[in-house]
Amino acid sequence: MALLPLAEAVSRFLFDRGIPGSGPFVQHLTLWVAFLGAALAAREGKLLGLSTGQFLPEGKRRDVARVISSTVGAMAAALLCRAAVDLIVVERSAGTEVAAGLPIWVAQLVMPIGFALIAWRLVWRAADRWPGRAVAAGGLVIGAVLGQFPQWLEGWPVWPGLLLVIVATALGGPIFAALGGAAVYLFMIEGVPVAAVPVETYRLAVSPLLPAIPLFTLAGFLLAQGNASQRLVRVFRSLYGWIPGGTAVVTTIVCAFFTVLTGGSGVTILALGGLLFGALQADRYREGFSLGLLTASGSLGLLFPPALPLILYGIVAQVPIRDLFIGGLIPGILLVALVAAWGVREGVKSGAGRQAFSLPEAASALWAAKWELLLPFVVLVAIFGGFVTLVEAAALTVLYAFIAQVFVHKDLSLRGDLFRVLTETMVLIGGVLIILAVAMGLTSYMVDAQVPSRMLEWVQNYIQSPLVFLLCLNILLLIVGCLMDIFSAIVVVVPLIVPLGVAFGVDPVHLGIIFVANLELGYLTPPVGLNLFLAAYRFDRPLLTIWRAALPMLAILGIGVLLITYLPPMTLGLLELIGRQ
C-alpha cells in the first residue's frame, strides 16, 4: 500500500504518467487490511466496543454479559458473512475487474472470510468454558440460518431486533456488530436483499482517499514505537522548560503531535502516558492535574493536518479535505493554547520544578530530533504544494518514518520490531475500518428511509435561530462523542447533520470543524468517554479518580468548543485569505 503510491508519484514526476491500475489496487488492499486487521483484533479481543460493560463487577455478572454480547456479535457477523457471499455471487456473474485482469469478486473474497473469522473468534472468546461458547455458537448458527432465509423476518416489528442489539452493545459487545447487525436486520424486515450492506461496505472501502487513513496510522505507530517521543520531549523541555508550567506545556504539545499522526487519542495515552506522567511527577505537579492533563491532551491533535478524522469527514461529507486542513489550524491552536495556559497556571500555583534554559542543550536536542521535527513540514509542503495526492503524501510519511526509525536512529529492527508494529497497526486500523464499513450500510438504510429529510423537517418546525441550532448541535455531538468513537460517529451522524447545517446556513467547513471539536470533547465526558477508561487503564487509577481529574479540562475545552462554534471567522478567516479549493 505504501510502495504503489510512491511509485505512482515518481513515475508521474519522471515520465509524466502514472502506473496503470495503481489506484484501484491500493484501494482494494485497503479492503484487505480492514478485514484481516479486524480478524486480528477479534483474535486479541480488541474489537472496539462501548466502555459501559466495565461498570459491571468482576465475576458471574460480567461473565454472563460477555456471553450475551458475544452471542449477538457472532449472530451479526454470520449475517454479514452471508450478505457478503451474496454480493460476491452477483459480482462474479457481472465479470467486472479491478485492473490487470483481476476480477473484483476475487478482491472481495476477504469480506466473507473476515466476517467468518470474526464470528468464530467471538464464539471462542465468549467464555473460558465450553457451555458459554456453545451458547455463542448458537448465535452464530441462528445468524447463518437467518442469512439463508431472510424472508422469515420480513414484516417483523423494528423494536425487538434493535433492542437486542442495544442491550448487547451496552454489555460490551463490539460496535461493528451493533451497526452492521442493525443495518442487516432493518433491511431484512423491509424485504431488501441483505447484500445491500456489503455493497455500501465495499463502496467506502474502495474510496480513493481512504487508504490515507491506514498509511498515516502506520507512520504514527512507527514514530510512537521508537524513541521519537523521548527526543521530542527533550526538545520542548529544553525550549520551554524554563517557563512556569513548562513540563505541562511540553506534555500538551507532544501529545497533540502524536495524535495528529496516529489519529486516535487512545494510542497517544497508551504509548506516551507512562513517559509523560513520570516527567510531570518528577517536576512535582499534582497527581490529579497530571492525570487530567494527559487524559485531555490525548485528543488535542485531531484538528491539525493531516488528522485522520478530518480526512474521513471530507470523504463522507464531500467537503474538500484541503479546506478542512486549513480551517482546523486556528481552532486546533486555540484548544492547545487553552490547555497549555491551564498548565502554566498550575505551574505557578504549585511551584512545579523548572529546567534552566541552556542554549547548547537546546541545540543538541533540536539536532537529535531533526527528523521528527521536519516530518510535518515535509508532509504539508508535499500536499499544499501540489506535488503529491493525499494518499501519496501518506505513503511518503510512512517511508520517511520508516527510514528515520529503522536506519537513521535505529530504534526499530527490521527482523523483530517491524513485524510487531505492522501487526499492531493492522489491529487498530481493522477495528476502526470494520466499523466504518458496516456503518455505511446503516447510513444507506437511513437515507432510504428518508431519516435526514424528516429530521430536517422536524428541526425547522421547532428551531428557527441558527444560534439555537448550533447549541443543540453541540449538545447532541457531546453525547455522541462519549458513546461512539470518532470514526464511526462521522460515518453515521455526518449524513444526518450536513443537510441541517445547509438549511441553517452553516458553512460546510465550519460544520466539519465544529463536529470534530465536539467529538474531541466527548472523549472526556463522563461517564463513558473513551479517554477516561483508557487513562484509568494506563495509569491504574480508579475511574472516579480520572473523572474528577478530567473535569477542569472538560470545562476549559468546552469553552474552546463554544468559541469555535460561535466565531466562524476562527475557522473560515484563514481559509478565505488563502482561498478555497
271 pLDDT above the threshold of 80: no
In a domain, residue 309? The reply is yes
Q: What is the pLDDT of residue 431?
A: 83
How many folded domains does the chain comprise?
A: 3
Q: pLDDT of 177-230, one tens digit each?
A: 888 888 889 988 988 888 888 888 888 777 888 888 888 888 888 887 878 878
The last residue of a domain, from among 170, 205, 240: 205
Does pLDDT of 526 surpass 80? Answer: no
Cell of 319: 467537503
CA 18 and chain centroid, separation: 31
CA-CA distance, 475 to 473, in Å (whole number)?
5
- Using 50, 70 and 90 to split pLDDT, how confident is the model at 115? very high
Dihedral angle over CA of 545, 551, 554, 558, nearest 10: 170
By percentage, how much of the chain surpasses pLDDT 90? 26
d(CA 103, CA 66): 40
What pLDDT shows up at residue 13?
84
Higher pLDDT, 481 or 29: 29
Please say which residue of 185, 205, 225 terminates a domain.
Answer: 205
Residue 173 lies in a domain: yes
Residue 10 domain flag: no
CB atoms within 10 A of CB 150: 21
Q: What is the model's pLDDT at position 73?
A: 92
Predicted local confidence at residue 60, as pLDDT = 83
**Cβ–Cβ < 8 Å for 402, 223:** no
Co-location of 549 and 512 in the same domain: yes
Same-domain pairing of 343 and 411: yes
Whether residues 272 and 355 share a domain: the answer is: yes
**pTM, two decimal places:** 0.84
* Distance in angstroms (rounded) separating the CA atoms of residues 26 and 5: 8
Residue 24 within a domain: no
Strand 102-103, strand 97-99: pairing: antiparallel
* Cα-Cα-Cα-Cα dihedral sign, residues 419, 259, 475, 555: positive
Residue 493 CA to residue 132 CA, distance in Å, equals 35
Q: Is the pLDDT of residue 364 over 90?
A: yes
Range of the domain at 161: 31-205
**Whether the predicted pLDDT of 506 surpasses 70:** yes
Mean pLDDT of the chain: 86
356 and 226, same domain (yes or no): yes
Does any domain span residue 49? yes
pLDDT of the residue at 266? 62
pLDDT at 404 over 70: yes
Instruction: Tell which of 363, 394, 424 closes a domain.
Output: 424
Same domain, 196 and 272: no
Say if residue 26's pLDDT is above 60.
yes
If pLDDT is split at 50, 70 and 90, which confidence band does 264 have? low
Q: Are residues 401 and 461 in the same domain?
A: no
Q: Considering the chain, what percentage of its residues have pLDDT values greater than 70?
A: 97
Residue 323: its pLDDT value, please? 92
Same domain for 480 and 549, yes or no, is yes
Of the listed ranges 51-65, 288-302, 342-356, 506-520, the least confidently predicted one is 51-65
How far, in Å, CA of 481 to CA of 488, rounded?
A: 10
